[in-house]
Structures are given as structure tokens and as C-alpha cells.
């Protein structure tokens, strides 16, 4: 992505979350802040949602992966975890919706500086104040040390943490992925939920074409899909970093769990996976 511009991907994800509130009534992920933080008209959001016949699949994946992550983080908080780290947060609103206010959790949003500045502007325009539980941590994932940046922001390195890492892995090099997993695994009793993509042949023809068009769009704004994995390969990578309890949720299971909640869900097979792993 371009150094002084917010992530285009983060904007599209926010639009998908907003469209889910309008079209699907937030049935997978209820988010009363999705439209407010986006600062766009409902008609613009609907135009985005109907721009491509397969756009409903993106809406399903975006909201389902957040639902899976938030359910898993709730269980982790019940077990005593008090630090949540959202890597590549974009316009995520979990900290605004925080249902664990009484538990005194701390939420660290880690993202590109330009994207965080854009988010602050959106919140200010919407007259939404940053909650006390939220700490913004600016970072370049390819160059900066995640651990150093988090510790400087007050993160407790010796306490367990729950990481969400959604919509980020496909854009990172193998080296950046390994460094991030190394860091997570250095924290005792850490957990992570993230998503990844299989090679294109795992998707149906229509979705492969859609992904090709999407790749070309991303190239224009200097954002690139660079990493794809086979499920067995991803499991091996996680095990090599010390993660043992690995739940890999494929697209069929995502559709089976959540597909009925998405209005007019297009048919197709996507090579998208959501993983919950514990160290």
C-alpha cells in the first residue's frame, strides 16, 4: 500500500460490514457503529454491495471471520485473558462494542499509521470518542518489530493475549508471517484467529475470475496478494511455531454455519479458511 494513504482494503472491509447491517440486518455480526464510522450514505453502501454478482461472498467471509474471532475472544476472556491485540484493525469497531467492559480488558489495535490517522478522522467526524480500553499502535508489518511497538504501548509481554489477524495474511510475505507467528508464540498461552487463502485452483471458476479482477484492482493501489497456502502447509507452519490446538474452518463450513444469514448469497466455492490456534 502507499505510505501516506489508508488501506483501500480496509475501506472495502468496512463497506462489507456496513452492507451486512443494511441488507442482512447484522444477523452474523451486529454492529451499530458500522455505518457511523464509514461516513457513507446507505445508497452508496448498497451500490458497493451490488456492484458484482459475487460480492455477497465477500460479505459472508468478512462478517463470519469477525464473528468467529469475537466468539473465540469471548471464551478466552472467560478463561482470564485480559489483552486483545487486533493486527491490521482497519475500521474495526470491536473496541467500541466491547461487551466485556466490566472485565477491564485492554484492546490494542495495530495498523499502518496512515490507516490509523484515517480511522481517527472518521471517529472524530462521527463524534465517537475512543474508549479508555483502546490503545492504537501504528506499525509497518513488513519493517517494524510488533513486540517492540506493543511493549512501548503498554502491552504486558508476560501476560497471555488473544490476537485477531483478519484480512492481513494474504498481503504479507512468508518472512513477515513467520516473524509475527514467532512473536505470538513467545507469549505464554496466546491464541490467534486469522484467515488465509488457498491457491486459486481451490476456488470455482467464477470466483477465480473474481479474484483475478480483484488482484488487478489491488495492484493499481499498490496492494498485493502475495501469500497463499495449502491447509496441510498452514497446519505445519503453525505447529513449527508451537501452536498445537488448531481449528481450521474452510469455506464450506463457513457457508454451512452462516450462509443462510446473507441475503441472496451467490453460489461458488472459495479457497478461504479461518483458523483458531492456541499456543
* Cα–Cα distances in angstroms (integers) from residue 201 to residues 59, 229, 230, in the given order: 22, 12, 11
Question: Which range has the worst mean pLDDT, 53-62, 137-146, 163-172, 175-184?
Answer: 137-146
Q: What is the pLDDT of residue 58?
A: 93
Q: What is the pLDDT of residues 219-260, one digit of tens each?
A: 777 777 889 999 999 999 999 999 999 999 999 999 999 999
CATH T-level topology, domain 8-278: Rossmann fold (3.40.50)
User: Are 125 and 39 a contacting pair, CB within 8 Å?
Assistant: yes
Is the pLDDT assigned to residue 72 strictly greater than 60? yes
**DSSP label of 138:** E
Report residue 235 as a C-alpha cell: 497446519
Of 139, 158, 159, residue with least CA distance to 76: 159
Q: For position 218, what pLDDT does the model report?
A: 66
Question: Which positions ≥6 away from 211 have C-beta within 8 Å?
Answer: 200, 203, 225
Confidence of residue 194 (pLDDT cuts 50, 70, 90): very high
The DSSP symbol for 51 reads S
Residue 62 banded pLDDT, cuts 50, 70, 90: very high
Taking only the tens place, the pLDDT of each residue in 241-252 is 999 999 999 999
Task: Tell me the three state secondary structure of residue 243.
Answer: coil
Rounded to the nearest integer, the mean pLDDT of the chain is 93
Provide φ and ψ at 84, rounded to 5°: -115, 130
Q: What is the pLDDT of residues 81-114, one digit of tens each?
A: 999 999 999 999 999 999 898 789 999 999 999 9
| Per-residue confidence (pLDDT) for residue 87, from 0 to 100 | 97
Count of C-beta atoms within a 10 Å radius of residue 123? 19
Q: What percent of the chain has pLDDT over 70?
A: 98
pLDDT at 48 over 80: yes
- Please tell me the predicted confidence (pLDDT) of residue 101: 81
Amino acid at each position: 500500500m502507499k505510505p501516506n494513504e489508508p488501506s483501500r482494503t480496509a475501506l472495502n472491509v468496512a463497506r462489507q460490514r456496513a452492507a451486512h447491517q443494511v441488507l442482512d440486518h447484522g444477523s452474523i455480526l451486529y454492529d451499530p457503529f458500522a455505518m457511523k464510522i464509514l461516513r457513507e450514505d446507505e445508497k452508496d453502501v448498497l451500490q458497493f454491495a451490488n456492484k458484482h454478482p459475487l460480492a455477497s461472498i465477500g460479505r459472508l467471509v468478512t462478517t463470519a471471520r469477525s464473528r468467529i474471532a469475537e466468539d473465540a475472544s469471548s471464551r478466552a476472556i472467560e478463561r482470564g485473558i485480559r489483552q486483545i491485540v487486533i493486527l491490521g484493525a482497519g475500521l474495526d469497531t470491536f473496541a467500541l462494542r466491547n461487551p466485556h467492559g466490566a472485565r477491564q480488558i485492554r484492546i490494542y489495535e495495530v495498523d499502518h499509521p496512515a490507516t490509523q490517522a484515517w480511522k481517527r478522522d472518521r471517529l472524530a467526524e462521527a463524534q465517537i470518542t475512543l474508549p479508555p480500553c483502546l490503545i492504537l499502535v501504528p506499525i509497518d508489518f513488513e519493517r517494524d518489530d510488533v513486540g517492540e511497538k506493543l511493549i512501548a504501548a503498554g502491552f504486558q509481554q508476560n501476560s497471555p493475549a488473544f490476537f485477531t489477524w483478519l484480512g492481513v495474511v494474504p498481503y504479507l510475505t512468508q518472512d513477515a508471517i513467520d516473524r509475527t507467528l514467532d512473536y505470538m508464540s513467545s507469549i505464554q498461552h496466546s491464541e490467534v484467529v486469522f484467515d488465509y487463502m488457498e491457491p486459486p485452483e481451490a476456488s470455482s471458476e467464477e470466483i477465480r475470475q473474481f479474484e483475478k479482477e480483484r488482484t488487478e484492482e489491488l495492484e493499481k493501489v499498490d496492494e498485493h496478494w502475495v501469500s497463499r497456502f495449502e491447509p496441510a502447509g498452514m497446519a505445519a507452519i503453525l505447529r513449527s511455531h508451537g501452536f498445537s490446538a488448531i481449528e481450521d474452518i474452510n469455506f464450506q463450513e463457513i457457508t454451512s454455519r452462516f450462509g443462510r444469514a446473507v441475503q441472496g448469497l451467490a453460489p461458488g466455492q472459495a479457497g478461504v479458511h479461518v483458523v483458531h490456534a492456541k499456543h
